[in-house]
Amino acid sequence: MKRIVVVGAGFAGLWSALAAARKLDELQQPADQAEVVVLNPQPYHSVRVRNYEQPLDPTLVPLDGVFGPTGVRFVQATAHTVDSANRRVMFTREDGEVSLEYDRLILAVGSELVRPEIPGLDRHSFDVDTYAGACKLQAHLSTLPALPDSPGRYTAVVIGAGLTGIELAAELPGRLREIVGEADRDKVRVVLADRSPKIAQSMGGAQSVVVQAMTSLDVELRPGVSLEELDGHGASLSDGVNTDYIQACTVVWCGGMRANALASQLPVGLDSMGRVPVDAYLRVTGVPGVFAAGDCARVLIDGKRPSVMSCQHGRPMGRYAGNNAVCDLYGEEMLPLQIDWYTTVCDLGPWGAVYTEGWERKLVSEGEAAKATKRTINGERIYPPRSGCREELFRAAAPIVQTPPSTTRADS
């Protein structure tokens, strides 16, 4: 029995498994002679990029409904050791410690929120990095009206003005006002803080539009500051000279990502974000039989620029990794991944959204037009087919780079 093991069922892992199963089917490999096995701690695929939203139920895709029809074997387990020398993975599940040998491995363990050693951060902050974390935040917000009245009861501070922080901060004023009710809606305060000199500095041509949207949503912007400490009652923000204390019952940390620590077990040098280097075929450099995709892998996506930690790159990386792992195993020609476009669509809550093109992030659409595109992406484009149809799932898993999402352009 030949075995392809996929570790992780995020965007890259899910599509790696489906693409591998598709290629095995194309090569007419019998199920008793070749299998695809996925290891993942949860029985669902989480559409993680939607964790800033509410409600969260639509963001979960049961894995049985995706893998069952395609013959992929799913094991609910947490992988903790990758032994690339002996081609096996060790993992923990309900019945204890287990090891699984592989012929080809696809590492798709994703990324996790960076948590610096800031006093009080672990104990007093929330996040939307995971489904569980986003649920914990919402449960906390729901308890605020029952707390004793205090200046910071309805104040939320979001630390980190990357895409996640921006999208969450844009949602919070409306979400909090709905929770607290009409009588206390004027007490709602949302602060978005970042150490960069400008909020949304990385958004290029859309930066000023993001600021405009945040201002209209009554989000206070605090650029050029870093979080110094949390004490359970508020946040201390410093600009390097002065420290400002903001009373707040809610502090959400959105301070950047790093590849899952499991990637560091491969005998390769990692980049500054902890990612393993892969070639255009998604093979890990210098490690025979191992492929990697998604947030834990770094590929020159267009031959020059490294991939970014996003589903935009994670999904095609997965499709190509799965296809190529099977091709490598059976001596078939592999396909190089190359993507010659890059877009960014940032949700701005009730205000709308912004849509940019290119690595310099040229603004091409904003407001409701960009919001319609964002809804299509979040609700349709990034999901696997949910019909349970084997043929439809295999079609979606073909190693083909999608065209950029369409939008109503401002210059059209």
Q: Contact at 8 Å (CB) between 130 and 52?
A: no
Angular region, 69: left φ>0, alpha ψ -120 to 50, beta rest:
alpha
Domains assigned to the chain: 2-112+258-340 (3.50.50.60), 115-255 (3.50.50.60)
* % pLDDT > 70, the chain: 100
Rounded to the nearest 10°, the torsion over CA 261, 262, 267, 269 is -30
Distances (CA, A) of 253 to 30, 51, 77, 189, 366: 48, 13, 28, 17, 27
- Angle, alpha carbons 57-62-68 (nearest 5°): 165
pLDDT at position 353, please? 98
pLDDT at position 411, please? 65
**Other beta carbons less than 10 A from residue 10's beta carbon:** 26
pLDDT at position 410, please? 72
Distances (CA, A) of 203 to 168, 215, 234, 310, 356: 16, 16, 28, 15, 8
Q: Half-sphere exposure of 321 toward its Cβ, with a 13 Å CA cutoff? A: 38
**Other beta carbons less than 10 A from residue 105's beta carbon:** 27
H-helix or E-strand spanning residue 96 = strand 96-101
The CA distance from 69 to 198, in Å, is 48
User: Which residue ranges of the chain lie beneath pLDDT 70?
Assistant: 411-412
Sign of CA dihedral 112, 113, 115, 120: negative
pLDDT at position 263, please? 98
* Contacting residues for 121 by C-beta, under 8 A, at least 6 apart: 115, 227, 230, 253
Question: Token pair 């009710």 is at which residue?
Answer: 181
Structure tokens at 323: 């296809």
The CA distance from 310 to 384, in Å, is 16
- Helix, strand counts (H, E) of the chain: 9, 24
H-helix or E-strand spanning residue 193 = strand 189-194
Question: Token pair 């029952």 is at which residue?
Answer: 146
Q: Contact at 8 Å (CB) between 61 and 44?
A: yes
CA 15 to chain centre: 14
DSSP 207-260: HHHHHHHHHHTTEEEEES-EEEEE-SSEEEEE-SS-EEEEE-SEEEE---EEE-
Computed on alpha carbons and rounded to an integer, the radius of gyration of the chain in Å comes to 22
Structure tokens at 60: 């979960």
Across-strand partners of 62? Answer: 44
Question: Which residue in 40, 5, 36 sits closest to 260, CA to CA?
Answer: 40
pLDDT at position 387, please? 94
Structure tokens at 400: 């083909």
DSSP letter, residue 182: G
Tell me if the bond preceding 55 is cis, omega within 30° of 0.
yes
- Which string of b and e fits 194-233 if b means at least 16 CB within 10 Å? bbeebbbeebbebbebbbebbeebebebbbebbbebbeee
pLDDT at position 412, please? 54
H-helix or E-strand spanning residue 141 = helix 131-143
Structure tokens at 207: 């930066």
pLDDT at position 140, please? 98
Question: Token pair 């590849």 is at which residue?
Answer: 259
